[in-house]
Amino acid sequence: MGVIMILYYLLSLYLVVILAWNFVREKKSVNDMILILLVLIPLVLRILRVK
Amino acid sequence: MSAPNDSAERSPRFAKPLLAVLFAALLVAGGRPLYRHRHDRVPVVPGPGVTRVLRLSDFGPTLAGTFADTDVFVLEGAKPGGKALVIANTHANEPEALLAAVVMIENAVVEQGTLFIIPEFNASGGRNTKPGDGYPLYFSIPTEWGAKRFRIGNRDASPLEQWPDPDVYIHYPEKQLLSYIDVRNTNRTWPGRPNGPLMERVTYAAMELMRREKVDVAIDMHGAETMFPVTNCIVAPIKSSKIATLVSLTVKAREGFDNHVEPSPANFRGLSHREIGDYSDTLPFLLEAPIPFLDQPTGPKTERLLLDGRDPFLLRLSRAKKLFVPYDEGGWPIARRVGQHCSVSLEIFRQFTKKNPERAIAVAGIPRYAELVQNGVGHYFHDPAKANPKALRYE
């Protein structure tokens, strides 16, 4: 795995953490919660090296 | 202490846990089939002609341990002679190539010369999927002993192996600007380089194989849309065109199917039929069989369409003369496509041998077009359950 690819994985991980934290902090809008989870799906699948 | 108004604005108490559970369920339900596809293994029974199995990393060490490394089956004849390389699954969504390669591996016996067969050239692409186009993940070929299942891969390597894509792919070494996605397309990354992106290393290793082993003939098997002009043909550069023309005329006269010759464009870089010839002494040939499954204006992309090539929309387009191949209610069954690849490959060996008797390549045991159409592809696959487990290979 090249350096640039490792950086992209780190970027993805950072986004997952930020999004997950936003999900935890979101108290009111169910729509926002759903949107956060939808955005998370491809990032989590990439980090798990599934897709 | 929260005000009464605040609690009224809050989401229902169980909304977040419920959504989290749904998210996890969606991840598992969607991810599990993709994970299983990526790690699926197709057993191949090496036939009596297989003398050795190498790895592509033997010719490009940086491939070792990656998903891009792949098997190279070697079939050596009793008598020395010429050498040929057969490549399949350059594009893993064109399965006639893979099936023809497996038919060869399981049945061919080389009498003179050496045959190298790489059934899963873009091994990463063979484990990649194309869900956005609604492709099924697998297809099965019926045999006398049950169904043999294969993966449907993608045209390009998986981003899990090579990521990110550039904005524009600058071909090496010709510096031609190609589409960004072609950096993962092993029919745009020839001749490759030892330290480039992973798919360039794959093609570089194959070039090294051809250069070190002094391979005379390279055959890269594909499938192409019926609405694409470069289909049902042999693509050849000038150095291969005499043999390609003789092959085209011979299969038409003797076996009754068309396979015209298309010239390899000199200014379109990265393709096997261009770069193999330009960067080695090997004569390259790229075979295209029509595959209606890849055409855009079809019905659903089902396993049945992949195998029988029958589609009512293409039939209407054929009547309007919009296709580049003959097309009727019979479609383009997989047996015809595999049969064409087998017959054209055998004819390339024969015509090469006629021109170069001191480098003869004589291969027996590979069925020809008529036999495959009559018996079906599955007839030529051997039961892995009855094979020596130690000899089995998994692709």
Percent of chain A's residues with pLDDT above 70: 100
Q: What is the pLDDT of residue A2?
A: 86
Q: What is the pLDDT of residue B3?
A: 45
Report whether pLDDT(B186) > 60. yes
CA distances to A49, B123, B197, B305 from B161, in Å? 9, 10, 10, 30
> For the purposes of burial, counting CB atoms within 10 Å of the CB of B63, is it exposed (0-12), middle (13-18) or buried (19 or more)?
buried
Query: When comparing pLDDT for A2 and B139, which is higher?
Result: B139
Domains in chain B (CATH in brackets) are: 17-394 (3.40.630)
First to last CA, chain B: 63
User: B331-385: per-residue pLDDT in tens?
Assistant: 999 999 999 999 999 999 999 999 999 999 999 999 999 999 999 999 999 999 9
Using the Cβ of B229 and the Cβ atoms of chain A, whether some distance falls under 8 Å is answered with: no
Q: What is the pLDDT of residue B331?
A: 97
Instruction: Return the ∠ at Cα B95 (arms to B277 and B255), rounded to 5°.
Output: 75
CA distances to B113, B180, B363 from B78, in Å? 8, 46, 11
Is the omega angle on the peptide bond into residue B164 within 30 degrees of 0, that is, cis? yes
Which stretches within B122-218 are classed as H helix?
198-213
Instruction: Return the ∠ at Cα A41 (arms to A36 and A42), rounded to 5°.
Output: 120
**Residue B334 CB partners (closer than 8 Å, separation 6+):** B95, B96, B99, B141, B306, B307, B308, B309, B377
User: B17-70: per-residue pLDDT in tens?
Assistant: 999 999 999 999 999 999 999 999 999 999 999 999 999 999 999 999 999 999
Report whether pLDDT(B170) > 90. yes
Q: What is the pLDDT of residue B1?
A: 41
Q: What is the pLDDT of residue B131?
A: 73
Predicted model pTM? 0.95
Chain A interface residues (partner B, CB cutoff 8 A) = 4-5, 8, 23, 26-30, 33-34, 37, 40-41, 44-46, 48-51
Instruction: State which residue of chain A sits closest to B36, comparing Cα positions.
Output: A50
User: B76-134: per-residue pLDDT in tens?
Assistant: 999 999 999 999 999 999 999 999 999 999 999 999 999 999 999 999 999 999 878 88
| CA gap A34, A49 in Å, rounded | 23
* Mean of pLDDT values over B264-268: 97
A-to-B residue pairs, Cβ atoms closer than 8 angstroms? 51
The dihedral built from the CA positions of residue A15, A20, A24 and A29, taken in this order, carries a sign that is positive
Classify the complex by whether its ipTM is higher than 0.90, answering yes or no: yes
- Mean per-residue pLDDT over chain A, rounded: 95
Report whether pLDDT(B4) > 50. no
Strands B283-290 and B79-87: unpaired
Report whether pLDDT(A41) > 70. yes
Q: What is the pLDDT of residue B72?
A: 98
C-beta separation of B240 from B216 below 8 A: no
Q: What is the nearest CA distance from B145 to chain A, expressed in angstroms?
A: 33
CA distances to B24, B207, B209, B254, B278 from B214, in Å? 54, 10, 8, 31, 15
Neighbours of B132 (CB within 10 A): 6
Q: What is the pLDDT of residue B116?
A: 98
Report whether pLDDT(B315) > 60. yes
Q: What is the pLDDT of residue B342?
A: 98
Instruction: State which residue of chain A sits closest to B197, comparing Cα positions.
Output: A2
Report whether pLDDT(B5) > 60. no
| Count helices and strands in chain A by DSSP H and E runs | 2, 0
- Mean per-residue pLDDT over chain B, rounded: 96
Q: What is the pLDDT of residue B9?
A: 64
Q: What is the nearest CA distance from B202 to chain A, expressed in angstroms?
A: 15
Report whether pLDDT(B272) > 80. yes
